[in-house]
Amino acid sequence: MLKKALWGFAAVTALGLVSFGRDFFSYVTVAGSEARQALRSNVPVEFEIRRARDLVENLGPEIRKCLEVIAEEEVALEQLNLEIAGCEAGLGQQKQEILLLRGQIEQNQPVYRFAGRTYTTADLKSDLSQRFARFKTAESTLASRQAVRNQREQALVAVRQKLDSMLNDRRTLEVEIEHLESRHRQIQTASSTSRVQLDDSQLSRARTLVANLNRQLDVQSRLLDSEGKFTGLIPVSSPTAVPEDLAQQIDAYFEKPAATVASDEVLAERESR
């Protein structure tokens, strides 16, 4: 199976080189880049947000590792400080003894007694030389341990700063991811709202029907008002005053004599009978 795959790859490569020449690999690189870009563009935003949250949560082991390093360095520094304190106390004692022997030698006595034993000046000088050599070695060892302590303290400070930076970055990333989720929800809500197509045709028909009904009721009301005005009823609300000299006004207007008017009235009365 592997041989077939290798032969197929070799055949494709050879065909590409024949078709495109040296530009074949450039085409392959561009095609691969476009394929990766297309794949990334098709990844849902929800998936990318979850991936970002997983990456932030995966910082937990790194943070725990920093905490372990800090704990180890703190314990090592405590032990080193105890050793340095012991060395400093030992050097102080050695210095006192060296100065004491040196003072004794300056007295230039034939013999010297220490702890019930007798020593010559040569013995004191030999012992003093050995003590002084051991003192310088111990002093060098103390300086080396102090340098190591300084380095460990600097390393501890660096690890603590790294831990603080990681914690701050994680909190910042968590807030940013929450902001991204909120923005994504808002965009989804707006997108779903814009996709909803409301059918307002029925609402428009209802509005038209209500308007028509109002118009019909207005017409009927107006018609009733008009019919009430022409029913011959006495308009009690607004009576019209009839002038007493109405007949004289009519005669004057038409310029008819009184006799003619009287005969006309009699004729009209007969016709009405």
Pairing assessment for the beta strands 117-120 and 111-114 based on DSSP bridges: antiparallel
For residue 119, list its beta bridge partners: 112
DSSP string, 32-94: HHHHHHHHHHTS-HHHHHHHHHHHHHTHHHHHHHHHHHHHHHHHHHHHHHHHHHHHHHHHHHH
CA distance 35 to 95: 77
**For the chain, what is the radius of gyration of the CA atoms?**
60
What residues does each domain of the chain span? 1-42, 45-189
SS3 13: helix
CATH classification (class only), 45-189: mainly alpha
* pLDDT tens per residue across all 273 residues of the chain: 555 555 555 555 655 555 655 655 565 565 555 655 554 556 687 878 888 888 888 888 888 888 999 999 999 999 999 999 999 999 999 999 999 989 988 888 888 888 888 888 888 889 989 999 999 999 999 999 999 999 999 999 999 998 999 899 888 888 888 888 888 888 888 777 665 555 567 667 777 877 887 887 777 777 777 665 555 555 555 556 667 777 777 778 877 555 555 555 555 555 555
pTM to 2 decimal places? 0.48
- DSSP assignment letter at 21: G
| Residue 111 phi, psi dihedral angles, 5° rounding | -135, 160
| Residue 117 phi, psi dihedral angles, 5° rounding | -120, 155
- Amino acid occupying residue 10: A
Tokens of 50: 């979850």
Residue 49 and residue 181 in contact, taking contact as beta carbons nearer than 8 Å: yes
Query: What b/e sequence results for 184-204 when a residue is b if at least 16 CB atoms lie within 10 Å of its CB, and e otherwise?
Result: eeeeeeeeeeeeeeeeeeeee
